[in-house]
Structure 1
Amino acid sequence: MLQQRIKDAIDRMVAQGTETGVQVSVYRHGEPVVEAVAGVADPATGRPVTPGTPFYAASTGKGVTATVVHVLAERGVLAYDTPIAELWPEFAAHGKGAATVRHALSHTLGLPGLPPHVTVEDLCDWDGMCALIAGLELWWEPGTKTAYHSHTYGHILGEVVRRATGRPISQVLREEVAGPLGVADELYFGVPAAEQGRLARLESTPEVEEAVAGMRAMFGAVMPPELVPHAAYGNRADVLAADIPAGGVMTARAVARMYAALLDEVDGVRLVSPDRLREISGPAFTGTDEIMGNPATWALGYALGPLAPARPRAFGMPGMGGSAAYADPDSGTAFAVTKNRFDPTRASAVDEIAAIVAEG
């Protein structure tokens, strides 16, 4: 039985000390088939992980941001080929007037980096960050190259959502996606202070901190060192409270349910039409990442392929700390793993569980 196989796997990971707390959720054709948890949410207190424990899941949140955009597109509130500056006039500065929502979703916009002076406190200042980004110059002509827009992705698309609806993206997520799916208290941008005590606490190891230090050098061209996500970053109250939709806070079952509702109807809710699903989940751009040098294939807001090699049409987003969520149109499966051992050097939990899901 799939439930038992996954439960046994995550129990073993916790017992062996390779993980601290883990959640796994799997949906098939709109129905939940796995909900498994193991370990502790807070190593300091021993508070156990429950299915309702939210985790900071880093860039897994980018898939949530994309989904909000697609729901609005489905309703005619915005369109992928709309110039961003049509909604956000200030964005047109320095020749950015032709850049579109599609370019932002596919990481081909040409604004992958932030200046070296930007701090975490700056990142939490929505209006300040949007003004800063609007004043940046393009690195290339939009749509011609790709590079992972680590932080700028969230604020650019979040401001597009705000300008199109008059509401911050955290509110739109709650009202248009999480609320209708019954997971408004499990899927967040901007976690209210009163709710932060429910969250899992991220932890790291000296070996991981050493690896993160190396990643700071690798990402130096696109972000200041303190903005490279790590356990302490994901535990900060100001980061958790702010709208920073390049990342997100979620339970595995909430984000799996969201992806399931892209594929199928979930308790009467389907987020997009079958035609739009085909449009948003197919390849939008394939190329070599201009910063990291790796081959990259992007759908509209989701990575294609690497999350589930056995499922080439699977689309979704991993998070730097080891969480991930994806949907597979071929099998009708939506799958998510969240965890609090923040480790960008290994994705063994996701890889092992994805393999079990693909088999069974």
Structure 2
Amino acid sequence: MSAVPAQDPRVVKALDRARELGEEGLQVAAYLGGDLIVDAWAGSADPQAGRQVDGSTLFNVFSVTKAITATALHILAERGLVDYRAPVCRYWPGFARNGKESITVRDVLSHRAGIPWMPEDVTPERQADWDWMIRAIEDMPPAFEPGRTNSYHALIWGWIVGEIARRADPEHRPVEVLIRQEIVEPLGISDLFLGLPESEDGRVARLIGGDPAPDASETYLRGMPRQVFPGSTIYNTDLARRTVNPGAGAIGNARAFARFFAMLAGHGELDGVRLLPADVVDGFTEPREDADVTDLYLGGIAHVSAFGYWLGGSSPTANPAVGPNPRILHHPGAGGSISWAELDTGLAVSICHNRMHEGPFEPSAHPFVPIAEAVRAIAAERLERN
């Protein structure tokens, strides 16, 4: 792995432009193969305290977390411990209650399980109680016919996938331990946490904005209830930082998330460490069933993979920084965080920030588009030299 690069003036200019377009504090990191080719930051981590972003600042990335959790499940599947076509209840018998017996692992991964809502009586304290969440999920009936409806599982997805993984794992490791031992440590990643230690609180960027509007729709709030909504009111709290939330709770820096996605961009391998076979990672680009049908939760076509990632696309729900190439694996997060892996070029990028915004944006107004353009220009120069 190469030394940490100096901040390229093109990236510095792009970060300045992002701040002109509304960002507060942000980081970007990019890998090309095993080389960290971009590592830059700008702005304020906490305007109230006067603390500036640096390379070690940690950020909430919300649903970018899902890509990591999905990968942990895929590692188990490659060991023959999980069958994507099997019903969830094969691994988790209590899940079969109230009409959920036919829901498959693949249905869950692709957001077609039909249970996109959080428990109605969830609170931050109950969300932090893994056993309470699992009991509540067991008791829930499907809102839609399982396996038939595209409806993004904004928050609940993490607990379902995390519990499948825990039960399928022969050691029954909690999902945060599984992720640490099977992904974070083997790849030599530092500064990626699922359940942040109190000792790291001083490095976390303070979230700004992102709470639901007063007139937010009932459907929107059933997937992300106000009392646990992924915005600044809830996620700036100590409890939210400690909570193991495998669908929206990861905290880390851009270097850490870019290094994880570099493994995907390397078709399952990074710096001689292989987590998944190359053909398996290539297969993650398979779209979910009925991919061209509107997602009822997101309100548009969502380019979701059958395996828990998002794919490049050009629909209104797609992020213009990622681009339309369907061979780009990525995941967006609430408020705009984004990380991606380009299977054709080997480029992996992570952009973290603390000013939460709502899309969609026109490409010319999206604060991350100038950053993506600068990073790709640097990567293209590297590829030409090689």
TM normalised by structure 2 equals 0.85
Q: Structure 1 residues 4, 70: closer, same or farther in 2, change over 3 A?
A: farther
Task: Indicate the residue corresponding to 2:351 in structure 1.
Answer: 337
Identify the residue that residue 223 of structure 2 maps to in structure 1: 222
1:122 match: 126
Shift of 1:102: 1.1
- Alpha-carbon deviation of 1:93? 0.7
- 1:4 Cα offset (Å): 2.7
Map Cα deviations across residues 24-76 of structure 1 (whole Å, 9 max, x no partner): 01112332211111122222223332222221111111112112212222333
Which residue in 2 is equivalent to 1:173? 179
SS at match of 1:245: coil
**In structure 2, do the counterparts of structure 1 residues 70 and 215 end up closer, same or farther at CA, with 3 Å as the change threshold?**
farther
Structure 1 75/212 Cα, relative in aligned 2: closer, same or farther at 3 Å?
farther
Residue 289 (1) aligns with residue 319 (2): no
Q: 1:153 aligns with which of 140, 150, 157?
A: 157
Contact persistence 2:64–2:339 (CA under 8 A): yes
Corresponding position of 1:327: 341
Say whether residues 1:242 and 2:243 are aligned partners.
yes
Contact 2:254 2:351 in 1 (8 A): yes
Which whole-Å deviations, capped at 9, do the CAs of 1:288-324 have from their partners, x for residues lacking one?
Answer: 1123321123111111122322433212111111210
Mark the CA change 1:86 to 1:345 in structure 2 (over 3 Å): closer, same or farther: same
Is the contact made by 1:322 and 1:346 (CA closer than 8 Å) also made in structure 2?
no
Residue pair 1:262, 1:270 contacting (<8 A) in 2 also: no
Matches within 5 A, 1:137-216: 137-165=141-169, 166-184=172-190, 186-204=191-209, 212-215=213-216
Q: Distance in 1 between matches of 2:147 and 2:303?
A: 13
Q: 1:8 aligns with which of 9, 13, 35?
A: 13
Q: Which moved more, 1:235-244 or 1:218-227?
A: 218-227
2:308 counterpart (293, 301, 307): 301
| Structure-2 residue corresponding to 1:253 | 255
User: Which residue matches 2:102?
Assistant: 98
Q: 1: CA distance between counterparts of 2:39 and 2:375? A: 12
> Which residue among 130, 135, 141 is the counterpart of 2:139?
135
The residue type paired with residue 325 of structure 1 is: S
Q: How many Å apart are 1:2 and its aligned residue?
A: 9.1
Q: Mark the CA change 1:253 to 1:346 in structure 2 (over 3 Å): closer, same or farther.
A: farther
Q: Is the Cα–Cα contact under 8 Å of residues 40 and 46 in structure 1 kept in the other structure?
A: yes
Asked if 1 retains the 8 angstrom alpha-carbon contact of 2:28 and 2:40, the reply is yes
> Equivalents in 1 of 2:47, 2:238: separation in Å?
18
Q: 1:269-292, CA deviations, whole angstroms, 9 ceiling, x for partnerless residues?
A: 232111111222221231211233
Distance 1:259 1:291 in 2: 26
- What's the CA shift for 1:7? 2.1
Rounded to whole Å, the distance in 1 between the matches of 2:219 and 2:90 is: 35
Q: Could you list the runs of 5+ residues in structure 1 that have no partner in the other structure?
A: none
* TM-score normalised by length of structure 1: 0.91
Does residue 358 of structure 2 align to residue 354 of structure 1?
Answer: no
Q: Which amino acid aligns with 1:94?
A: N
1:26 equivalent among 30, 40, 55: 30
Output the CA distance in 1 between the equivalents of 2:225 and 2:368.
Answer: 28
SS of residue matched to 2:260: helix
- What letter matches 1:44 in structure 2? Q
SS in 2 for 1:94: helix
Q: CA 1:199–1:144 in structure 2 vs 1: closer, same or farther (change >3 Å)? A: same
Task: Measure the CA separation in 2 of the matches of 1:2 and 1:331.
Answer: 22
SS at match of 1:24: strand
Tell me, yes or no, if structure 1 residue 276 matches structure 2 residue 277: no
Quickly say closer, same or farther: Cα 1:102–1:192, change in 2 above 3 A: same
SS at the partner of 2:270? Answer: coil
Q: Relative to 1, partners in 2 of residues 1:220 and 1:51: Cα closer, same or farther, differing over 3 Å? A: same
Select 1:75's aligned residue among 75, 79, 86: 79
Q: Please provide the CA RMSD for this pair.
A: 2.2
Q: For 1:41 and 1:220, locate their aligned partners in 2 and report how far apart those are by CA, in whole Å.
A: 28
In structure 2, the residue corresponding to 1:57 is in which secondary structure? strand
**249-258 or 220-229: bigger deviation:** 220-229
Structure 1 letter corresponding to 2:369 = D
More helix by share: 1
Q: Deviations over 1:127-172 (max 9, x none)?
A: 0011101111112332211101011100000111111221111111
Structure 1 counterpart of 2:332, one-letter code: P
Q: 1:296 to 1:18 in 2, by over 3 A?
A: closer
1:338, distance to aligned residue in structure 2 (A):
0.1
**Aligned partners of 1:62 and 1:246 also within 8 Å:** yes
